[in-house]
Structure 1
Amino acid sequence: MTITQLHYVLAVAEHQNFTKAAQKVFVTQPTLSMQIQKLEDELDVLIFDRSKKPIELTATGRKIVQQARNIVNESDRIKDIVDQQKGFVGGLFRLGVIPTVMPTLLPMFLNNFIKKYPKVKLKIEELHTEAMIEKLADGHLDAAIAATPLGLPNIKEQVLFYEPFVGYIPPGHRLNSKDKLKVEDLDLDDILLLEDGHCFKDGILNLCKATRQSNDDHFQLESGSFETMIKLANEGLGMTLLPYLHTLDLKGEDQKNIKMFVEPTPAREVSLIYNKSELKMQIIEALRSTIAGVVKGAITFQNVQIISPVHKK
C-alpha cells in the first residue's frame, strides 16, 4: 500500500469517474486503474462498485476512503513540519471566502499579503458556508473565512473581527427619523433579504427571532447582492441590513440612510476556519496577522452581541 495509491482512491471517490480522476492527479487512466486494482487485490476487497454509473464506493470502500483521507493528511503533515522548522511560508494555499465578506475584506488585505509573502500561491474561491465545510472536510480547502461560531467538532476557528449589523433606512421609511435602531424596531415584513444560502440572511433571521415570533413565508423579495437591496430600498420597497464594512463604500445620499444599533450592537463574528489537522499553520497565521493588521483601523467595535450564522428553524 502506498500514499500514491491512496491519493488515487480519493480522486476516484471525489469524481466518481476513473478518467476524470486520472486527469486530476496527472496520470494516465490505465496507470490509475492498475494501481487501484493492485490495492484492492492486496486488501482482498472491492473499494469501488464499477457496475454503477457513476462509480460508487462499496460499504467497505467508504470506510477505506475515510481512513485514506486521514493517512494522506498525516503524510502531508510531515512536509508541513519541515516547512515550519525552516520558517518557510510558501506553496499552494486554497482559501474559501463567503460572498458577503469577499468584496469588502479581500481588497483590504490581499495586496499586503501578496507583497509580504510572495512565495505563497493563493487560490481563492467564493463559496457559501455549507460548501466550504464540505471542501475543508475533503481536503480541497486549506482554510476559509466565514461567519462564526459554527460549532463543528472537526473545524477550528480563529476570530478575525466582529462586524456590526447596520440598518439601511431610506427616506419615508418609518424608522428613518430614529438616531439609532433597536432590535425590537425591526419588522421582518419590510426587511429586504439576501437569497437563500447566505449566512448573513440566516443571521438576520436569528436576530429578529430573538425578539419576536416570525413566519418565513412573509419574505416576498430576496436578492443576491447588497447593491440590489440598497437600490430596492431607495425605491421605497422596504429597508435592509448590511454588514458594517459594506457601508464604507457608500457615497453621497446613501450614506445618510445608514443607522447604527444601540449597544450592545448586534454583530457577526468573522473567523479563519480550518481543519483540526492544522496543516499549513504558518500560512494560516500569516493570513490572520495580515488581516488583523488592516481591519483593526476600520473596525473598532467591542460592545457587541454576536448573532449566530447557523440557521435556526
Structure 2
Amino acid sequence: MTITQLKYVLAVAEHQNFTKAAEKSFVTQPTLSMQIQKLEDELDILIFDRSKKPIQLTDIGLKIVNQARNIVNEADRIQDIVDQQKGFIGGEFKLGIIPTVTPTLLPMFLNNFIKKYTKVNLKIEELTTETIIEKLVDGHLDAAIAATPLENELIKKRVLYYEPFVGYINENDKLFNNKSLTIEDIDIDDMLLLDDGHCFKNSVINLCRVANPAERNSFQLESGSFETLIKLANEGLGMTLLPYLHTLDLKNAEEKYLREFEDPKPAREISLIFHKSELKMQIIEALQQTISGVIKGAIAFQNVEIISPIANK
C-alpha cells in the first residue's frame, strides 16, 4: 500500500471516472487503474463498483476513502512541516471565497499578495458557503473567506473583520426619513433579498427573526446580485440591506439612500477559515496578514452584534 495508490483512490472517488481521475492525477488511465487494482488485490476487497455508471464506492470502499483522506492529509503534513521549518511560502494554494465578499475584498488584497508572495500559485474559486464547507472537509480547498461562525467542529477560523449591515432605502419608503435604523424597524415583507445559496440572505432572515420572531417568510422578490437589488430598490420595489464595504462603491447620487443601524450594529463576521488539520499554515498566515493590513484602513467597527450566516430550520 502506497500514498500514491491512496491518492489515486481519492481521485476516482471524487470524479467517479477513471479517465477523468487519471487526467487530474497527471498519469495515464492504465497506470491509475493498475495501481488501484493492485491495492484491491492486496486488501482482497473491491473499493469501487465498476458495474455502475458513474462508478460508485462499495460500502467498504467508502470507509477506506475516509481513512485514505486522513492518511494523505497526514502525509502532506510532513512536507508542510519541512516548508515551515525552511520558512518557505509557496506552492499551490486553493482559496474559496463567498460571492458577497469577492467583489469588494478581493481587489483590495489580491495584487498586494501576489506581488509579495511570488512563489504561491493561488487558485481562487467563488463558491457558496455550503460548497466551501464540503470542499474544506474533503481536502479540495486549503482555505476560504466566508461569513462565520459556521458551527462545524472540523473547521477553524481567524476573524478578519466585522462588516455591518447598512440599509438601502428609497425615498418612497416609510423608513427614508429615519436618520438611523434599529433592528425593530426591519420588515421582512418589505425586503429585497439575495436568492437561495447566499449566506447573506440567511443572515438577513436571521436578523429579521431577532426583531420579529413570528415573522412570515413571504418575500416580494429575490435576486442574485446586490447591483440588481439596488436597482429594484431605486424603483421603489422595497428596501434592502447591503454589506458595508459594498456601500463604498455606490454612486454619489445613491448615497442618500443609505441608513446605518444604531449601535450595536448588526454585522457579519468575515473570517479566513481552514481545516482543523492546519495544513499550509504559513500561507494562511501570510493571507491573514495581507488582508488585515489593507482592510483596517477601510473598516474598523467593533460595537457590533454578529448575525449568524447559518440558515435557521
CA distance in 1 between partners of 2:13 and 2:92 (Å) = 23
One-letter amino acid matched to 2:294: V
**How far off its partner does 1:252 sit?**
1.6
What does 1:203-242 correspond to in 2, within 5 Å? Answer: 203-212=203-212, 213-216=214-217, 218-242=218-242
CA distance in 2 between partners of 1:52 and 1:5 (Å) = 22
CA distance in 2 between partners of 1:30 and 1:312 (Å) = 48
**How far off its partner does 1:45 sit?**
0.8
Tell me the equivalent position of 1:46: 46
**How far off its partner does 1:74 sit?**
0.6
CA distance in 1 between partners of 2:266 and 2:224 (Å) = 22
One-letter amino acid matched to 1:78: I
CA distance in 2 between partners of 1:59 and 1:214 (Å) = 45
Tell me the equivalent position of 1:147: 147
One-letter amino acid matched to 1:79: Q
Q: Structure 1 residue 190 and structure 2 residue 190: aligned?
A: yes
Q: In 1, are the aligned partners of 2:186 and 2:211 still within 8 Å (CA)? A: no
Deviations 1:168-198 (A, max 9, x none): 0111110010010001001111110000000
Tell me the equivalent position of 1:118: 118
CA distance in 2 between partners of 1:39 and 1:214 (Å) = 57
**How far off its partner does 1:29 sit?**
1.0
User: Could you state the TM-score of these two structures normalised by the residue count of structure 1?
Assistant: 0.99
Tell me the equivalent position of 2:261: 261
One-letter amino acid matched to 1:69: R
**3-state SS, counterpart of residue 197 of structure 1:** coil
**3-state SS, counterpart of residue 45 of structure 2:** coil
CA distance in 2 between partners of 1:293 and 1:124 (Å) = 20
Tell me the equivalent position of 1:65: 65
CA distance in 2 between partners of 1:68 and 1:215 (Å) = 46
Deviations 1:7-58 (A, max 9, x none): 1000000011111111110111111111001000101111011111111101
Q: In 1, are the aligned partners of 2:190 and 2:220 still within 8 Å (CA)? A: no
CA distance in 1 between partners of 2:267 and 2:205 (Å) = 13
Tell me the equivalent position of 1:164: 164
Unaligned stretches of 5+ residues in structure 1:
none
The percentage of counterpart residues that share the same residue type is 74
CA distance in 1 between partners of 2:300 and 2:167 (Å) = 18
**How far off its partner does 1:138 sit?**
1.3
What does 1:96-135 correspond to in 2, within 5 Å? Answer: 96-135=96-135
CA distance in 1 between partners of 2:124 and 2:287 (Å) = 13
CA distance in 1 between partners of 2:22 and 2:251 (Å) = 51
Tell me the equivalent position of 2:94: 94
Q: Structure 1 residue 177 and structure 2 residue 163: aligned?
A: no
Q: Structure 1 residue 2 and structure 2 residue 14: aligned?
A: no
**How far off its partner does 1:220 sit?**
2.5
**3-state SS, counterpart of residue 210 of structure 1:** helix
CA distance in 2 between partners of 1:180 and 1:6 (Å) = 58
**3-state SS, counterpart of residue 68 of structure 1:** helix
**How far off its partner does 1:251 sit?**
1.5
Tell me the equivalent position of 1:270: 270
Tell me the equivalent position of 1:21: 21
CA distance in 2 between partners of 1:176 and 1:308 (Å) = 27
CA distance in 1 between partners of 2:190 and 2:240 (Å) = 8
Tell me the equivalent position of 2:200: 200
Measured on the aligned residues, the alpha-carbon RMSD in Å equals 0.6
CA distance in 2 between partners of 1:231 and 1:295 (Å) = 27
**3-state SS, counterpart of residue 167 of structure 1:** strand
CA distance in 2 between partners of 1:184 and 1:240 (Å) = 15
Aligned residues: 312
**3-state SS, counterpart of residue 269 of structure 1:** strand
